[in-house]
Amino acid sequence: MEQIYLAGGCLWGVQEFIKYVPGVISTEAGRANGTSRITQNDNTPNTYDGYAECVQIDFDPSITSVTILMKHLFEIIDPYSVNKQGIDVGEKYRTGIYSLSDGHLAEAKRYIASRDDADRIALEILPLIHYVASDDIHQNHLSQFPEDHHLCHIPWDLLHKYKSQ
């Protein structure tokens, strides 16, 4: 099992989509690469300090790869947008790939470099510095509260594209 963190706007949609992709073992909604070591239950107003909403992904490298996971991420994001996905605007909605593995980061950079539109792609590809799991209400949120889908930029059919596989 290997682990990577993908940011693609609102974490609810990213988690709902990616958890069904073949080779994904488990997911957890969270925040990556802020500047402080905030805790899961820190609900103090105005504590945002640079974190990106993301999904921690445990995956089986015999079934999928960083490149394949990135191709899936590109199905649900606008890779040219900076700090905005759909109706969600702000630094916390930036797109990115984060990992503790230099190999994962190198593979992600190779994938971007291989694309014809590489010079326009606005994804961060950075080492994971900090990660904080989101509160329980945010875990698998769209599975628990499908009526909140109107807050997600990803069409419902696309969210479940891999669900039956």
- Respond yes or no: is residue 54 known to be catalytic: no
Q: Among the residues of 24-101, which ranges form H helices?
A: 66-76
How far apart CA 147 and CA 29 sit, in angstroms, is 19
How far apart CA 104 and CA 58 sit, in angstroms, is 13
How far apart CA 111 and CA 143 sit, in angstroms, is 31
Sign of torsion, CA 143 147 153 155? Answer: positive
Which is catalytic among the residues 6, 10, 76, 77? 10
Task: Please list the active-site residues.
Answer: 10
